[in-house]
Each structure stands twice: as C-alpha cells, then as structure tokens.
Amino acid sequence: MEQLQKKVITYQWKEVIKRGVFALSIPLISLTYPLLNQNRGNTNDLFTFIDKLIPFNRFFIIPYVSWYIFIAVFSVILCISDKEKYFKLLITLNIGMITCYIIYYFYPTYVPRPLILGTDFFSNLVLNLYAVDNPYNCFPSIHVLNSVLIALYIFESKKVSKWTKVICIIISVSIILSTMFIKQHYFADVIVGVIFAFVLYFAFKNLKFNFHKNQDITNYIE
C-alpha cells in the first residue's frame, strides 16, 4: 500500500511538471516585447484629465516589479491545484499577450516619464526600470491584463483557499494601481487592459477539457 501511495505521488508530480512546461509559452512570446518597444515614429498620446489627477509615487515600484513573481507564484498554484483553470489561464494569457503585441505594432503609444531627482532606494529602482523599459508598449497594459486574468481564475477556483484568493486580489489591485502611479501607463491603458481581461475570461469560461476524470489513477501506474 505504501509503495502504491509513493507511485501515486510520483505520478501526480510528473503530471504537474508536464503542465508546467506549457507555461514556457509566456516567456517565449515575451521575446517579442523588446523588438516592439522602440520609437518607430508617429506615436499616439492617450493622456486624459484623470492622468493629471494621479501623482507620481515612487513607492509603487515595489508592486510593479513584483508582477513577475506574482505571475509565477499564482500560476504554479493553479498548475498544482486546478489544472482546468490553469490551462484556461495559459490560453487567455497567450491570446491576450499576442493581441497586445499586434496592437503595439499597429497603434504605438507613448507615456512620458517624470523627472526623478531622488537618490533613495525606491527612486533608483524606478530609474533602473526606466533605463531598461522604453515607454512605448503601453496600450493596453499587459501588466494589468495578466494581473486581472490571474485574479479571476484564482478567485473562480474552488480548489484554492480563501486567503490565497484574498492575497491574490490585493496584490493584483496594487499592481494595477502601480502602473499609473509610477507613470508606466495612462488611465486608458489600464481600463482597456481590465476590459480585455474580462472579455477573454468570459470568452473561455465555458471551455471544457477532457482530462479522463473517470479513469483511476492506478491505471497509469506501471
């Protein structure tokens, strides 16, 4: 019996690792980002009066750069606990990012950066971000799109704990706000990113996968 349990656990982790391989599509697609994030002329300005009301706040650099960890951690949580939501997340993330890159190519936008005179830790982080990330891939915001999609699938999953959902939503909201407070995006970039995330979420909400639910796991164990 103990040997069988070990085989079951081994099988389960092998399946998780196999699912995780599909997540490599995200960094592969992201290789296109720096090629598009260039000044190609004739950029569009989506500044509104709302953007004028939002002050620069260097402390929001922390949730902004935590986006990478946020994506990885909560994707892994879904990969382990809820494979249906995980694959829906991957599908919507891939479609969403590819669509954003197409928009970036045909409708380039620009967000001017503020002059930063501070020399503290947070100011330096912002300056480092500005140095490596040109201000052209803006509309819609991929930071916002991906954060909302992950929050939606984590919240919907019945296999994720309540506190995990709360933490995910709090971090997601802080990342969304950070895009405007550190002047990486305009309000329009954020709103369209949120709307696009919901469109993708509901478009694939009823998608079903055949995971052979009725088959006993021991059938796969040699």
| Token duo for residue 13 | 């982790």
| Token duo for residue 53 | 């009301």
> How far, in Å, CA of 170 to CA of 93, rounded?
20
Residue 19's pLDDT is: 83
Helix axes 83-106, 187-203, angle to 10 degrees: 140
Residue 3's pLDDT is: 47
Residue 10's pLDDT is: 57
- Count of H helices and E strands in the chain? 11, 0
Residue 210's pLDDT is: 80
> How far, in Å, CA of 22 to CA of 75, rounded?
11
**pLDDT band for position 215 (cuts 50, 70, 90):** very low
Residue 219's alpha-carbon distances to 3, 7, 19, 46, 214, in angstroms, are 15, 11, 19, 57, 11
Residue 222's pLDDT is: 39
Q: What is the DSSP string of 115-126?
A: P----SHHHHHH
Residue 212's pLDDT is: 58
Instruction: Please answer whether residues 154 and 164 qualify as being in contact, where contact means their C-beta atoms are separated by less than 8 angstroms.
Output: yes
Per cent of the chain over pLDDT 70 is 89
Q: pLDDT tens digit string along 59-76?
A: 999 999 999 999 999 999
pLDDT mean over 210-217: 53
pLDDT mean over 110-116: 94
CA atoms within 13 A on the CB side of 66: 18
Residue 46's pLDDT is: 96
Quick check: 5 pLDDT over 60?
no
pLDDT mean over 145-153: 98
Residue 208's pLDDT is: 86
Instruction: Please answer whether residues 156 and 39 qualify as being in contact, where contact means their C-beta atoms are separated by less than 8 angstroms.
Output: no
Residue 4's pLDDT is: 37
Dihedral (Cα; 147, 145, 162, 85), 10-degree rounding: -120
Q: Give the residue from 30, 23, 154, 171 showing the smallest Cα distance to 82.
A: 154
Quick check: 88 pLDDT over 70?
yes
Quick check: 119 pLDDT over 60?
yes
Q: What are 109's strand-pairing partners?
A: 44
Is the preceding omega at residue 140 within 30 degrees of 0, hence cis?
yes
Considering the chain, what is the average pLDDT of its residues? 89
> How far, in Å, CA of 48 to CA of 45, rounded?
9
